[in-house]
Structure 1
Amino acid sequence: MLSETLKILNKEGIKLDKRKGQNYLIDNKVLSQIIQSAELSINDTVLEIGAGIGTLTIPLAKNAGKVIAIEQDKRIAAILIKRLDKLNISNVDVIVGDATKLDFPKFNKVVSNLPYKISSPITFKILEKKFDSAILMYQLEFAERMIAKSGDSNYSRLSVMMHFYAEVEMLFNVSKDVFFPKPKISSAVIKLTPKNKVEFNELFLKVTRALFQHKRKKVRNALMDSFHEINDLDKNERKIIISKLDQNIMDKRVIMIEPDSILKLSKELEKLLKEYYN
């Protein structure tokens, strides 16, 4: 795969830019694992983000009913279209543009080697849509934060949000040696299965952000230190509000509290703030 990738890029005079996340998979075994994990059929419409020269797009097209391939780089997209035409592959719609800004056509599965710099915004954009499952490649560190549970060193805001949005399964790790150009860190393939989303408001997001700025501190102290993320109350007013919250939660360290407890905390806080201003 490396020789084929280099041949295509050299022929078109393309130099890949790692800063844009242009690290292409060059290992057939990993490619096959991704395709098998997606469990594709003729009934599936697959969304692929960061299609590149079609390393993943082409086998997706051979296994699914339709593929929507998004590629931001116009020159790379032109190569992809040329390759698809040469192979007489007609079930791929190539969209040239920034996936973070585009309106996605309808799809029921996502399979992508994501450009790592947009991992977070793209993941949450996808999770706002209705779909069956997603097989996505991330930087290993990001993937570990996605699956982390309370008490884990990688537990983070991302972990909390993923708890409410999807079932997250780490499928397998991917060595940095199977990409060209070689990235500095390893990757992992994750399976996402959407949950029935819990409704929460902006305050929950603010509380979560405030807490994880100090995840090693007790909840009480983390809220005191970052209450400006939630509201502009002064120090004494903060103390009064925080003293009325569930003290069992307040006494725990942020890293130890479950996502459901954070949601409960945000609802309590919302009620107290309403009472304070009325």
Structure 2
Amino acid sequence: MLAQETSQLLKKHQIRLDRRKGQNYLTNDHILAKIIENAQLNDSDVVLEIGAGIGTLTLPLAEKSSKVVAFEQDKRIVRVLRERLHELGISNVEVMEGDATKMEFPYFNKVVSNLPYQISSPITFKLLNYNFDYAILMYQLEFAQRMVAQPGESNYSRLSVMMNLCTHTELLFNVPKNAFLPPPRISSAVIKLTPKKNPQADKFFANTCRALFQHKKKKSGKALLQSFHEISDLNLDRTTIRDLILKLDPELTEERVFKLNEKEILTISRELKELMEGYDEKNG
């Protein structure tokens, strides 16, 4: 039913979907129902949806919540979405036209989205700056697996560290390619992401993570030395940087980056930040 409805709407409005823009519309009724079920919505929820498209998720979200804030960038698709909402008499959806990575989000307490794949990373990190109950989000399977990866695993990454430190992240279920129109080249997965109450990541921590994971198979001390420019824009010579790193916990600086857990990386970040502040005071 959903597949037929989607095809008819696109044909009616003469819209050809663009894979490059992440326009892969969910057409599987069973998967849609599972997403809505996992969202556990009630009539007091304000739901944020990013990449609303023609309203596949938007309509059932509006039915079960107080309000939906729906972001969509494609002007043609926005017109279709607004027309559908008007025809169905749905008045509790606020359609936000524009790039969700560059716009402020109004109040929301839950997020439910089939994210455009090319903005998965910036949107995920942006969401960490907001307070909300939890998010039910669809990603590329590979990206979702990196989100839940643990130290020592091959797909453990900077993303994994940030998720482990700032959220409780659970991979709920996989989604096959044929659940979409047009079918993407890769499989997908739905993630439940719940922010932790006291996130400890600041910009310095994020920069330290970025520096470390540019050389994930090297010892962390060497990785920091080679990518210190990611952490500080101070014009420090290599000897000074090495001296700072030598003052860090040697058990941590001798460990391979991909084996460090989020708390160990947090320790490195905090120690290095203190050393940098001391250096600034001494040489400022």
Return the TM-score normalized by structure 1: 0.95
Counterpart of 1:250 in structure 2 is 253
What are the ranges of 5 or more consecutive residues in structure 2 without an aligned counterpart? none
Q: Distance in 2 between matches of 1:95 and 1:73?
A: 11
Deviation at 1:71, TM superposition (A): 1.0
Q: Is the 8 A contact 1:53 1:76 kept in 2?
A: yes
User: Which deviates more, 253-262 or 228-237?
Assistant: 228-237
Q: Distance in 2 between matches of 1:4 and 1:217?
A: 52
Counterpart of 2:115 in structure 1 is 114
Counterpart of 1:170 in structure 2 is 171
Number of matched pairs: 278
User: Secondary structure, in 3 states, of the residue corresponding to 1:197?
Assistant: coil
**AA at the equivalent of 2:50:** I
Deviations 1:3-32 (A, max 9, x none): 221111111111111111110001000000
Change (3 A) 1:131 1:198: closer
User: Which deviates more, 101-110 or 18-27?
Assistant: 101-110
Counterpart of 2:182 in structure 1 is 181
* CA RMSD, Structure 1 to Structure 2 (Å): 1.4
Moved over 6 A (4+): none
**AA at the equivalent of 1:64:** S
Q: Is the 8 A contact 2:166 2:201 kept in 1?
A: no
User: Secondary structure, in 3 states, of the residue corresponding to 1:214?
Assistant: coil
User: Secondary structure, in 3 states, of the residue corresponding to 2:193?
Assistant: strand
Counterpart of 1:235 in structure 2 is 238
User: Which deviates more, 255-264 or 29-38?
Assistant: 255-264
Counterpart of 1:140 in structure 2 is 141
Counterpart of 1:43 in structure 2 is 44
Q: Is the 8 A contact 1:164 1:197 kept in 2?
A: no
Counterpart of 2:155 in structure 1 is 154
Q: Distance in 2 between matches of 1:127 and 1:164?
A: 11
Q: Distance in 2 between matches of 1:230 and 1:50?
A: 33
User: Which deviates more, 230-239 or 116-125?
Assistant: 230-239
Return the TM-score normalized by structure 2: 0.93
Deviations 1:175-221 (A, max 9, x none): 11111111111111000111123344432222111110111111122
Counterpart of 2:105 in structure 1 is 104
User: Secondary structure, in 3 states, of the residue corresponding to 1:46?
Assistant: strand
- Map 1:1-278 → 2, pairs under 5 A: 1-231=2-232, 232-277=235-280, 278=282
Q: Is the 8 A contact 2:166 2:200 kept in 1?
A: no
Q: Distance in 2 between matches of 1:228 and 1:2?
A: 50
User: Which deviates more, 130-139 or 198-207?
Assistant: 198-207
Q: Is the 8 A contact 1:47 1:109 kept in 2?
A: yes
Q: Is the 8 A contact 1:109 1:134 kept in 2?
A: yes
What are the ranges of 5 or more consecutive residues in structure 1 without an aligned counterpart? none
Q: Is the 8 A contact 1:145 1:155 kept in 2?
A: yes
User: Secondary structure, in 3 states, of the residue corresponding to 1:67?
Assistant: strand
Q: Distance in 2 between matches of 1:18 and 1:67?
A: 25
**AA at the equivalent of 2:6:** T
Q: Distance in 1 between matches of 2:9 and 2:276?
A: 60
